[in-house]
Amino acid sequence: MRVLVVEDDAETAEYICSSLNALGHVTTHAADGKQGFLDALDAEFDVMVVDRMLPGLDGLSLVRSVRGAKVATPILFLSALDGLNDRIDGLEAGADDYLVKPFAFSELSARLNVLARRPPLQSEETSLRVDDLVLDLIKHSARRSDQLIPLQPREFRLLAYLMKNADRVVTRTMLLEAVWGFHFDPKTNVVETHISRLRNKVDKPFKKPLIHTIRGAGYIVHA
């Protein structure tokens, strides 16, 4: 596994890199946000570990920039900021998981392994279609009735998962695991918030809704 570690604390970075190297992984260390961003663009990694409080470019800005550059590498935030809003901000910025310092290396390693095993969004399919809604998995673009729909990276992944499971009910737990990488309930309304945003973009401007709520069960996309 190739891991980019973006951490300004030298002792923490050395601990993470040496421990991962001992397990046979290959690590690259960036001591500030700007270098981390450049490394993320210049090389292919299986996963990234990013601190929130970074010099040059803070962690949130780094992740937003990486996602804006269409880099889909799974990202784990590793931070001493442990408030609920801190975790939500990290996930909303485009991270896939959030681990609070101090941490156990065994948990960090397990979480990285889970993220690295996640299959890429692009599979054999290059596009998804439900009625007049088309999602291009290569260009990361969405169109409905030939109108371009601007989507944030997380919104795109959520819509892609719903469309891949078109005509099937998808539960909140399934979405948390597939789109956010959570194997537990974070007790936030992150799913509901993103579904609402998708509806405003995908359904509201058009006559026919495609995203439906199945009360007590979850969500389904169908014409």
pLDDT in tens, 3-27: 999 999 999 999 999 999 999 999 9
Sequence-distant (6+) residues with CB within 8 A of 113 are 1
Q: Do 75 and 47 sit in the same domain of this protein?
A: yes
pTM over 0.75: no
Q: Does residue 55 have a cis bond before it (omega within 30 degrees)?
A: no
**Residue 123 confidence class, pLDDT cut points 50, 70, 90:** very low
Q: What value does the mean pLDDT take over residues 185-189?
A: 83
Tokens of 192: 């509901």
Is residue 12 assigned to a domain? yes
Q: Do 93 and 148 sit in the same domain of this protein?
A: no
Q: Which of 92, 117, 142 is the last residue of a domain?
A: 117
Q: Do 78 and 38 sit in the same domain of this protein?
A: yes
Q: Which of 117, 142, 177 is the last residue of a domain?
A: 117
Sequence-distant (6+) residues with CB within 8 A of 202 are 133, 142, 144, 149, 159, 210, 211
Q: Do 159 and 210 sit in the same domain of this protein?
A: yes
Domain that holds residue 209: 127-221
List pLDDT tens digits, range 67-96: 888 888 999 999 999 888 889 999 999 999
CB 47, CB 76: distance < 8 Å: yes
Is residue 122 assigned to a domain? no
| Total structural domains within the chain | 2
Please give the span between the terminal C-alpha atoms of the chain, in angstroms, as a whole number. Answer: 41
